[in-house]
Amino acid sequence: MSGELSRDINIKEPRWDQSTFMGRAQHFFTVTDPRNVLLSSETLEEAKVIVEGYRAGIVRPGLTEDQLWRAKYVYDSAFHPDTGEKMFVIGRMSAQVPMNMTITGCMLTFYRTTPAVVFWQWVNQSFNAVVNYTNRSGDAPITVNQLGAAYVSATTGAVVTALGLKSLAQRLPPIISRFVPFAAVAAANCINIPFMRQRELKYGIPITDENGNRLGESANAAQQAIMQVVVSRIGMAVPAMAIPPVIMNALEKRAFMKRFPILNAPVQVGLVGLCLVFATPLCCALFPQKSSMSVSGLEADLQERIRQSSPGTTHVYFNKGL
């Protein structure tokens, strides 16, 4: 590419069309790429300098469009879209596949005893709590007490749910018992995500017009955002927690697996990882990251303020979180 890079490239938005599922899928395959977890702090800071410099109208000499987009996605993988803060490494979406394949694989392997169920559900929900906090929507701070209360409530609810389902499954065929971890995770997501993001439900998340001008905070928008995230997270778990149990149920009857039972956990983790490589970005893509809703769906007082300050606005936009 010859000449200076154009300054008209909109890197505030993804490279691909976000109005289509395929465009969003391409975007999230890049954002959730597990290789991004291995990037050094120097690489992340360099990407940050390139992106923030370009936004300020400063173009590094020799920078190509592909290099700019690569820097943008490295930046997006590590820095929060609302606060600009560097995210805790295991809370980043690029850590979802390696972390979840290990935890989910162990949950599916060690599901027969109550202590194992409690331990791995606790590990899973602790990890989910980190992810949910790291990828929250909005830029309002949350206190240590609020965070602690949300974590204890979410984790306790998830563990109790898992134990209750395990108790019910004892009277069902063995193959059904293998799906207890999935049912527990699905139910726990409905508990964990709203608890960890309860501040958004109480005070709302930032909403903007189509040009990015901030119009206020809406709890109704937060409800829609959290509901979409819950659906996406449950969708991510379906292939990883529904397909491997069926395969393992068949493999464990084979002489080879009976002879080498130590292979059970590694094989299960590998199967889960294979499912998650595709399920994670595809389920993130179910809904646009920059979600929207009609002004008529907002709180009455906020509707009135928007009609007065921006009468031509019919829809508002917000970051739904991940």
* Cβ atoms within 10 Å of 98's Cβ, excluding its own: 15
Separation CA 19–CA 24 (nearest Å) = 8
Render pLDDT for 299-312 as a digit per residue (tens, 0 to 9). 888 888 888 888 88
Render pLDDT for 18-72 as a digit per residue (tens, 0 to 9). 889 999 999 989 888 888 888 888 999 999 988 888 888 888 888 888 888 999 9
Say what the pLDDT of residue 1 is.
Answer: 40
- Beta-bridge mates of residue 293: 316
Contacts of 279 (CB under 8 A, 6+ apart): 235, 236, 237, 238, 239, 240
Output the average pLDDT for the chain: 82
Least confident of 47-51, 126-130, 176-180: 176-180
- Beta-bridge mates of residue 44: none
Say what the pLDDT of residue 258 is.
Answer: 75
Say what the pLDDT of residue 14 is.
Answer: 85
- Which tokens belong to 48? 């940050």
pLDDT-derived band at 239, boundaries 50, 70, 90: confident
Separation CA 241–CA 283 (nearest Å) = 14
Whether the Cβ atoms of residue 222 and residue 215 lie closer than 8 Å to each other: no
Render pLDDT for 156-175 as a digit per residue (tens, 0 to 9). 877 787 788 777 767 767 66
Say what the pLDDT of residue 21 is.
Answer: 92
pLDDT-derived band at 125, boundaries 50, 70, 90: confident
Residue 190 CA to its chain's centroid (Å): 14
For the cut 60, the answer to whether the pLDDT of residue 188 exceeds it is yes
Q: Could you identify the residue written with the tokens 């309860």?
A: 198
Separation CA 199–CA 191 (nearest Å) = 14
Intra-chain end-to-end CA distance of the chain, in Å: 35
